[in-house]
Structure formats: C-alpha cells, structure tokens
Amino acid sequence: DQQVKQNSPSLSVQEGRISILNCDYTNSMFDYFLWYKKYPAEGPTFLISISSIKDKNEDGRFTVFLNKSAKHLSLHIVPSQPGDSAVYFCAARGVSGGATNKLIFGTGTLLAVQP
C-alpha cells in the first residue's frame, strides 16, 4: 500500500506561469514533508520542506502548502523557468518508534517547462 502518492506522472507548463505539483498521503502520523527535485542520472536535490504543525512554507519561487485534514500537500513554483524541468518527488518522514528517520517517497512528477 503506497503511503505517499503523486497521481500526476507528468505536467507541462509555459515559462513564466505557475506550476502546481500535488501529493497525497495516507498516514496521519507523518510529521515532516519534503520536496526534492531530480535531474536524470543525478541524486535528488532538496528543495523545500514543511512541518506538520504548519500549513505553508515559502522560499523564493517555491511555496509548499499542507492541508492536514485532506492529507494533501502541494508545491507551487512561480514563475516557472525552463531550468525547473525535472522530476519532483514528494517525501514524508515516517515515525516508527522514534528510532528510524526514513523518508517515504512518492513516485514523482515529471515537470516540463516550455520556453
């Protein structure tokens, strides 16, 4: 059973417009959420995160929104740039007896920003 879901495998956006990437989760015990960006043949790069006690976090062009009642988070990129084209992974930190800190990842969304 997949605990973190990214239902859109791909998204295409025009340069300068807003990109909205969505993520749903099932485990209400997750306490921290992160977004990573990944280029082909490279490791994921940390973008932005949000604690479960907050509903919004902003960093430059990137804003993450968390709706705990809906178990939904989204990443907004404004304005989108061609260099933002990559696979975006949503991840949630699992709490398991306090010992492990593992991240549960979604399957990713491929964002293509068209010039």
Partner 1 sequence: EAEVAQSPRYKITEKSQAVAFWCDPISGHATLYWYRQILGQGPELLVQFQDESVVDDSQLPKDRFSAERLKGVDSTLKIQPAELGDSAMYLCASSSGQKGKTQYFGPGTRLLVL
Is residue 43 a contact residue for partner 1 (CB under 8 A)?
yes
60 lies in the binding site for partner 1 (CB under 8 A): no
Per CB under 8 A, does 36 bind partner 1?
yes
In the complex with partner 1, the residue whose CB is nearer, 41 or 70, is: 41
Size of the residue set binding partner 1 (CB under 8 A)? 24
Instruction: Select from 21, 66, 91, 111 the one that contacts partner 1 (CB under 8 A).
Output: 91
Stretch that binds partner 1, among 54-62, 65-73, 74-82, 106-114 (CB under 8 A): 106-114
Q: How many CA atoms lie within 13 A of 78 on its CB side?
A: 8
Which of these segments, 12-20, 56-64, 70-78, 97-105, binds partner 1 (CB under 8 A)? Answer: 97-105
14-18, long-range: CB < 8 A, 24+ apart: 14/80, 14/113, 14/114, 15/79, 15/80, 15/81, 15/82, 15/113, 15/114, 15/115, 16/79, 16/80, 17/79, 17/80, 18/76, 18/77, 18/78, 18/79, 18/80
Exactly one of 53, 69, 99, 115 binds partner 1 (CB under 8 A); which one? 99
3, 25 in Cβ contact below 8 A?
yes
Among positions 12, 18, 46, 55, the unique one binding partner 1 when judged by CB under 8 A: 46
54 scored as a contact of partner 1 (CB under 8 A): no
